[in-house]
Structure 1
Amino acid sequence: MKLLAFLKVVRAPPTLSKITGPLQCRLFQPDFVPRDPKAKPKRYKYPAFYDPYGPKPPPSDKIIQLAERIAALPPEELKQIGPTLRDKLRHPKMEPISTEGMDLGPQAGAAGGSAKSEEKKAEKTAFDVKLEKFDAAAKIKVIKEVRAFTNLGLKEAKDLVEKAPVLLKQGVTKEEANDIIEKLKTAGGVAVME
């Protein structure tokens, strides 16, 4: 008996009265009219350029006269307009963005190869310290010095020293690099600054 009642509920077709609320399909809404399949789709005209702020009013006569006066200035005075306006309007100064270290592709390398290399040599502030060699008798002293200026353990410092020539420290100032080189020299090693 229960099985028959269940089958009647499952097989019963949905009626329009049962489909209401948010589940109601557009086809069953009373005001829905299907589109004529033979009708052409509507063509919308897009503006030539997108202006998110909409149409602007034309500039006033005072602004037009000011623009004409600015355009008539000599080139020396035209260069002074930007900084003067920035100071008067209290706009922040735009700082140039450094592209050093960025890969800008082949166009950047071909433009100023030798000039950039000369600038980098002239303004180098970070140096690397490289251990070239050391005396076998002074190996323990060199390992102690390496541990002093690097935060390595005994085994790591020993392995690093045994790999000589090897970079010991990167990106240090010139004074710090000279200090490290002197300490290694007194311990019995030969280090260079790159």
Structure 2
Amino acid sequence: MKFRALLRSIRSSSVTFSSKPTKSLPQCRLFHHDFVPRDPKAKPKRYKYPPVYDPYGPRPPPSDKVTQLAERIAALSPEELKQIGPTLRERLKHPKMQPISVDGLDFGSQGGGPAGSAKAEEKKAEKTAFDVKLEKFDAAAKIKVIKEVRTFTNLGLKEAKDLVEKAPVLLKQGVTKEEANDIIEKIKGAGGVAVME
């Protein structure tokens, strides 16, 4: 609506432009003095683009040594071809590529078919929370195991003792994999056997 009103106001104003300067409007140059208008009958120029754009420009052809090396690589068996990448990385001292975590990123439906939905279900099935279970412990190391259980649970001495004596029993639920491995190592150091579920 505002646009229409603006158009009406422009139409209603009776401003006329002519080639002759008027006394009320100062004369102003619209174009630079070197400007030459294009010939309306002239054909537009057509530029020919190269078939392949190479930002680095023309390159010299590879040397004979490089060509022979490429032929030798092409003649290798598939097992030997798989070994080239790691060997060159080690020889040239390139850092090992680290995988990028895509947890929490949604890339939409990739694949679109049943294979894509199966991958999505498999991704959802991955566990992120683990339970730590005390399987058994050495009778001589019972006190050490009770002390370790008290360090990562908020139990008193009597509650921790009762819990350890009920082995096999769940010690902690819903922890991360790193935390679960840390708890298992501590219990193993104290003389007990714990597993992650």
TM-score for both structures, normalised by structure 1: 0.46
TM-score for both structures, normalised by structure 2: 0.45
Q: Which has the higher helix share?
A: 1
